[in-house]
């Protein structure tokens, strides 16, 4: 009887392709699996991760999470800033985040700026986006100390999302390199799988991160 590839081989193929961005035909010599088998292993792996862990690790933030993130934004000079940022004009056309804003499902927050009352959070953007009330743009040519301080803080906070995706790309070379003829559906599953695994890593290691704040500290205040 001829034995097939072991589960450890198949699992290693998928992780290796995600981590190193190697093509399916590059794992043959190391793991003794053909190109078609390697592709199949990757497809089944990402489907399994999404089916098993997406509910927990891709869930929308709870009210408690939102309040904690809003407080962190306030500490950085942006009270009631909606967690996240919009750093790609293409996101504006397809992100479900903005569907929530349009359909009035976005988290409700209350704050006052210059005597005006607002009940929705806002996103930090650069100058290529439309002038929506929920977008806060940087000052293009700041001259006063006040404008310069605002622009510095705005750009610093906005870059956090880009840095987060930079960490994701550093950990999973597959999403950093050009797509190797994957279907759009499989590319989406690969991206979701990388985010899920990254969230798992953060959950496991965050207590050793520099400047880590235990969420329970906010509940005690």
pTM above 0.75, yes or no: no
Q: Which two tokens stand for residue 127?
A: 């100058």
What pLDDT score was predicted for residue 90? 58
Phi first, then psi: give them for residue 93, nearest 5 degrees: -85, -20
Q: How far apart are CA 190 and CA 212, in angstroms?
A: 28
SS3 label, residue 98: helix
Identify the residue whose tokens are 């000052």. 139
Per-residue confidence (pLDDT) for residue 1, from 0 to 100: 44
Q: Mean pLDDT per 10-residue run, the chain (221 residues)?
A: 71 87 76 80 91 87 70 67 52 63 70 75 73 76 87 78 81 82 83 90 78 55 48
First to last CA, the chain: 65
Domain borders along the chain are: 1-59+183-221, 63-171
* Residue given tokens 């992100």 in the structure block: 95
pLDDT of residue 218: 47
Backbone angles phi, psi at 197, to 5 degrees: -65, -40
């Amino acid at each position: 009887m001829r034995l097939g590839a072991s589960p450890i081989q198949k699992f290693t193929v998928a992780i290796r392709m995600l981590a190193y961005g190697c093509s399916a035909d590059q794992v043959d010599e190391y793991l003794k699996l053909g190109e078609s088998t390697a592709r199949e292993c990757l497809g089944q792996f990402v489907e399994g991760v999404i089916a098993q862990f997406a509910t927990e690790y891709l869930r929308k933030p709870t009210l408690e999470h939102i309040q904690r993130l809003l407080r962190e934004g306030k500490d950085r000079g942006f009270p009631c800033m909606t967690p996240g940022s919009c750093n790609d004009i293409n996101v504006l056309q397809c992100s479900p985040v903005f569907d929530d804003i349009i359909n009035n499902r976005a988290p409700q927050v209350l704050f006052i700026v210059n005597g005006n009352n607002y009940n929705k959070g806002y996103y930090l953007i650069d100058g290529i986006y439309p002038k929506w009330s929920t977008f806060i743009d940087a000052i293009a040519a700041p001259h006063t100390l006040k404008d310069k301080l605002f622009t510095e803080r705005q750009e610093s906070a906005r870059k956090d999302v880009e840095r987060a995706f930079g960490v994701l790309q550093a950990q999973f070379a597959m999403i950093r390199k050009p797509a190797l003829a994957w279907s759009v559906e499989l590319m989406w599953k690969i991206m979701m799988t990388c985010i899920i695994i990254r969230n798992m890593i953060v959950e496991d290691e965050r207590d050793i991160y520099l400047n880590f704040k235990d969420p329970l500290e906010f509940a005690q205040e």
